[in-house]
A and B are shown apart, each in its own frame.
Chain A
Amino acid sequence: MDPKMDSGFLLPNETLEDSYNVLAPILPEEVIGIMDQLLCYEMAWHTGYPLSQTLFTSVYIDKLLWPEPKTVEEAQFYRGDLPAGRRPGVLLEVLRAYCLALVKCCDFVIAKITGRDYFEEEDFCTHTYNRVLFVQVPLDVFLRELDAAVERMEDTDLEMSSSLRKAIISRLDFRRDFLRALDLDCPLEHLSNYWPPILSNLTSIFTTQQLGKTVPGSFSTKIQRRLASTVPPRPIVELEFKDAFEKLKQLCIDCEEATRFTSLEPDPLEYQSFLLVFASRAPTPLPYSRSYLATLLFHPQILNATSSLPLTDVRTLVLPCSTILSPANWSFSPPRNPLLPKPPRLQLALLVDEFIERTGQPYLDFWTALGQNTCRLRRMLTHVIGGWDQLQTDASIVDADLMRVVTEMGMRDEVMDSPLTVWVYQKKLWMIEKCVLLGFEQDIYLPDEYGGMYHFLSLISGRRKVVLEAISAHFVTRARQLQHADQLPEAADVEDGAQHIASLISEADGVSSLGAALASFYTVLLYLKVLPRPARPFSSQELRFELRMKPFLALQPPEVPPFKDWLDKVQPYGPYELPSPSFLADVQNADSQLWSNMDANIKRAKEAFSAVMKIGATNAKCGGVKEAWARDVKGVLASCVALGIAVAGVRSRVARSGGGIKMEVEMGVQGLGIGIEIPLMGTAKRYAEGWVVAKVVKG
């Protein structure tokens, strides 16, 4: 027998069923122990393990749920009638109320998660093995059970120490608050009231955990045999109390944070910032918290806001105070005679409607991706980008029609070239950048790929900056036009809107400059042979480039650079093993362009990110998450500083090394005394997760 393969196999003399007696009286300490153990399994389930290996290993819960009770009254630790003397005592009744509420919590959790996009097993296991988790029973029934249990506990006839009594009551209180917070029908306006009471109650559970006494016999793997499943029994998942407690706390904090979504400015760009910041919270939010936020995002009250979200987005970015989006356009009726041309303004309205409808799916896909775990987010983004590439083609067709109409109307100079295409393109480029940055965040790239990938990032953000500059120029023109027309409030609006564009330009400039500086820094390190470079007998640089560019190969624009062009950039001095002599000359000369370009790019990146900071969170459309936003910008600024130090470190050591450098570069001999430490993900050694800055140490 192989215990791993043949799980569930009975050992000699082992019984098929458990002999644990659920009706036997239990001690208050044991009630605490069982409740806390259940909490551990509940949180293990939240992290992604199936119920069969967690909560459903509890004999008590099994008895409540099977055989399936028709009513809550029937859901007892026994079925049928019991003689008066054998009825469960007060403590068992209290435990039952707790378990009932716990099961209902699971029901709410499953409903919330399955109501949104999630991935079975990867994120969460929704399987209930034919057990019905009181789906039809309303919340107040469980609240009543819990209230009755608290009353029983407060009964002075019940003899037990006050600390034990308090500990049990605090667990019942917690369960009541938690259940209420998980309720699917919480009104949007009061959401934020639900989580703080739970959080304030948690400490008392944590500090009284040591009062509990475990009851190992009340949990068993054997129950799995009776659960409808195709997999053999698997071991119980043990999550330690302190870890489970941390998870629970995190869940409450994350959900409380998510409730802030309802008080954001009704602006899709604010929503986007909020989603991004939430997705990158550390530790990464549990599936329930992500679903909780996604449910708010996709809530009819949010999604069906008076103004369409994509439309607001388009207006903010490319069509400020534009006739194309004038509400009046939607008040025209088509002529009775279908052979007559439609009024131009109606044509505009129809074209915009057509485009906004076309945008709906890619727009939702993007937001759905932002609600996933970050591994999934990176992979989904590559598909979303493909969708937006298609959208860009369609946008250009609508743009041509729009241009025709505004030209007819004699308003061509009020509109920038191809506004919708520009809008899509700008967003698509941003997504590509995000994809690459997530690759760095997740340690997808190996150190000898850093140079090439940061170069690619720099290229893409450079493109985005050019696009944004065209937008910015239009904002200037538009403001001037409005001033001339004496439409001063509108002109002021456009000028305000230009601040957002300015923020985006600075950010794109910063990304592009810092990317360029890092690309050239890591390239130098490769030539100096201080970065690990695997031999890779089965691969070639061209094949690896193709693999890295795969998600972007079909895009047009931006076209992936031809391999030869890319190679010229990442191997400016020829092969790393045998660089041209000019490398030695450049690297040893502290004033060479090699070093001065690096310094200039770092300086420029610093200035750009400082400008972002100065323009502020509100103009960055991050007003709802300004603390996190400021932390992120500061993190990138710190990365710039760290890179400056690293560059200076390498430069001075190379200068000091004299002849050593020649040996190092030409023969790969360790003579430079340069060591490199790459800060890995999750080690808290990066100032910004997407910006990997190596630390130079003594080699």
Chain B
Amino acid sequence: MSESNHAPLNADALQYVQYDGDKEESYLPAIRQLISKDLSEPYSIYVYRYFLYQWGDLCYMAYDSSSTLIGVVVCKLEPHRSGTFRGYIAMLAVQEAHRGKGIATKLVCMAIDAMKARDADEIVLETEVTNTASLKLYERLGFMRSKRLHRYYLNGNTAFRLVLYLKPGTASKSPSGDMMGGGYGNMGPETAARGDGVMTDARSSP
């Protein structure tokens, strides 16, 4: 890829940083810019704030040597109405010139580790059925396709739901009494970010 010549060749020169709500003014505009360029769905500022206000610590960013944001992953983690404590990868994007270097994988791994440390039962996400690079990325890590979602995206594309179980017994969990409908109180992943996981990072041909 010719673009990669412009980027630092040494991946070690990259810096991985956890999002910090106190620095929203400097972080958020760059995140929005990076993601809105890559994802097919339009996200309003409220979608970003929905995730970052509540789960800023599950957002990781990659910076190049000149302190430019080149990659980001945005997640959430909350009790799901199925009874599981469910992590959700909402957005993942890496700047085009920096793709194919494992930055997205690294970001996702950091997010998975963080959700694991916080006792998540499972992690889920959606990605377009045609986004083979994205599918490969997640499936290499252990995600499985659990559902095919017909016309899931606003652009009419179909998605796979990908699931990673982290703990035995996850499949048999059921909603406890006070948890019934727990997932409805907040904006669910489907309404908050329908385009989550459309990782155009991986869309470029290898």
A558 lies within 8 A of chain B by Cβ: no
Report how far A32 CA is from B157 CA in the complex, Å. 31
Complex interface: chain A residues within 8 A of B140 (CB): 534-536
Q: Which residues of B contact A442 (CB under 8 A)?
A: 148
A546 touches B171 (CB 8 A): yes
Q: How far is the CA of A449 from the CA of B145 in the complex (A)?
A: 11
Which residues on A sit within 8 Å (CB–CB) of B36? 2, 4-5
Q: Is the CB of A547 within 8 A of B144?
A: yes
Considering only residues 110-149 of chain B, those with a C-beta below 8 Å from chain A are 112, 116, 129, 139-149
**Which A-chain residue is minimally distant from B156 (CB atoms)?**
A48
Q: A550 interface residue, CB < 8 Å from B? A: yes
The 0/1 profile, CB within 8 Å of B marked 1, for residues 478-490 of chain A is: 0000000000000
Q: A547's contact among B109, B139, B165, by CB below 8 Å, is which?
A: B165
Q: A48 near B144 (CB under 8 angstroms)? A: no
Residues of B with C-beta under 8 A to A374: 150
- Is residue B68 within 8 Å, beta carbon to beta carbon, of the partner chain? no
Q: Does B172 contact A (CB under 8 A)?
A: yes
Q: Is B170's CB under 8 angstroms from A544's CB?
A: no
Out of B112, B147, B154, B172, name the residue touching A375 (CB < 8 Å). Answer: B147
Say whether, besides A48-B151, A234-B154, A539-B165, A544 and B42 are in contact (CB < 8 Å): no
CA distance A539 to B154 in the complex (A): 32
What's the nearest-Cβ distance from chain A to residue B155, in Å? Answer: 9
A158 interface residue (CB < 8 Å to B)? no
Contact between chains at B170 and A546 (CB < 8 Å): yes
Q: Does B34 contact A (CB under 8 A)?
A: no
Contact check, B142 vs A539: say whether CB atoms are below 8 A apart.
Answer: yes
Structural contact, A444 and B171, CB atoms closer than 8 A: no
Size range of the interface on B?
A: 35 or more
Q: Which residues of A have CB within 8 Å of B172?
A: 553-554
CB contacts between A and B, total, < 8 Å: 98
B135 nearest in chain A by CB position: A446
Cβ of A548 under 8 Å from chain B: yes
**Least Cβ–Cβ distance between A380 and chain B, in angstroms:** 11
A543 at the interface (CB under 8 A from B): yes
With contacts A5-B36, A543-B168 taken as known, whether A376 is within 8 angstroms of B150 at the C-beta atoms is yes
Q: Are B150 and A5 in contact (CB under 8 A)?
A: no
Interchain nearest-CB distance for A243 vs B (Å)? 13
Write out the residue numbers on chain A whose beta carbons fall within 8 Å of the beta carbon of B142.
534, 536-539, 544
Most central of B44, B116, B139, B165 by chain A CB within 10 Å: B165
> B55 interface residue, CB < 8 Å from A?
no
Q: Is the CB of A121 within 8 A of B151?
A: yes
Q: Tell which of A373, A446, A535 touches B144, judged by Cβ atoms closer than 8 Å.
A: A446
Do A47 and B156 touch (CB < 8 A)? yes
Indicate if A79 sits at the interface (CB-CB under 8 A).
Answer: no
* Minimum CB–CB distance for A166 against chain B, Å: 35
Contact with B along A60-84 (1 / 0, CB 8 A): 0000000000000000000000000
Given the contacts A538-B112, A539-B142, A546 and B148 also touching, CB distance less than 8 Å: no
Q: Please give the distance in Å from B158's CB to the nearest CB on chain A.
A: 7
Residues 457 to 490 of chain A near chain B (Cβ within 8 Å):
none
Q: Are A446 and B139 in contact (CB under 8 A)?
A: yes
Q: With A442-B148, A538-B112 in contact, is A547–B42 under 8 Å at CB?
A: no
CB distance from A476 to the nearest CB of B (A): 42
Closest to A445 in B: B145
CA distance A535 to B137 in the complex (A): 11
| Nearest CB in chain B to that of A234: its residue | B154
Task: With both chains docked as a complex, state the minimum distance between the C-beta of A502 and any C-beta of chain B, in angstroms.
Answer: 35
Chain A residues positioned under 8 Å from B192 (CB to CB) = none
CB of B43 within 8 A of chain A? yes
Q: How far is the CB of B190 from chain A (nearest CB, A)?
A: 10
Q: Are A544 and B158 in contact (CB under 8 A)?
A: no
Min CB distance, A384 to chain B, in Å?
15
Q: A445 vs B145: C-alpha distance in the bound complex, in angstroms?
A: 7
Are B148 and A549 in contact (CB-based, < 8 A)? no
Given A539-B142, A544-B144: A373 in contact with B156 (beta carbons within 8 A): no
A368 to chain B, nearest CB (A): 16
Whole-angstrom CA separation of A47 from B145 in the bound complex: 25
Are the CB atoms of A7 and B112 closer together than 8 Å? Answer: no
- Establish whether residues A547 and B145, one from each chain, have CB atoms under 8 Å apart when the complex forms: no
In angstroms, how far is the closest chain B Cβ from the Cβ of A118? Answer: 12
Contact with A along B163-182 (1 / 0, CB 8 A): 11111111110000000000
Note all chain B residues with C-beta closer than 8 A to A554. 172
Q: A18 interface residue, CB < 8 Å from B?
A: no
CB <8 Å contact, B149 and A375: yes
Taken together as a complex, chains A and B put the C-alpha atoms of A539 and B168 apart, in Å, by 11
CA distance A388 to B144 in the complex (A): 27
List the B side residues contacting A548 at CB < 8 Å: 144
Rounded to whole angstroms, the CA-CA distance of A553 and B168 in the bound complex is 13
With contacts A442-B148, A534-B140 taken as known, whether A542 is within 8 angstroms of B168 at the C-beta atoms is yes
Residues of B within 8 A of A536 (CB): 139-142
- Asked if residues B148 and A375 are in contact (CB atoms below 8 Å), the reply is yes
**Known A534-B139, A547-B165, A547-B171: A378·B148 in contact at CB below 8 Å:** yes
Enumerate chain B residues within 8 angstroms of A549, measured Cβ to Cβ. 171
B156 touches A122 (CB 8 A): no
Report chain B residues within 8 Å CB of A539: 141-144, 164-165
Known: A4-B42, A446-B144, A537-B142. 18 other contacts (CB 8 A): A4-B36, A5-B42, A7-B42, A49-B156, A375-B150, A378-B148, A443-B145, A444-B148, A445-B145, A446-B139, A538-B109, A538-B112, A539-B142, A543-B168, A543-B170, A546-B165, A546-B168, A547-B165
- Lowest 7 CB-CB distances: which A-B pairs, in order? A539-B142, A536-B142, A550-B171, A375-B150, A543-B165, A538-B142, A375-B148
The contact sample of 15 A-B pairs, CB cut-off 8 A, is A4-B36, A5-B43, A122-B150, A234-B154, A375-B149, A376-B150, A378-B148, A379-B147, A443-B129, A444-B146, A534-B142, A538-B142, A543-B168, A546-B168, A547-B170
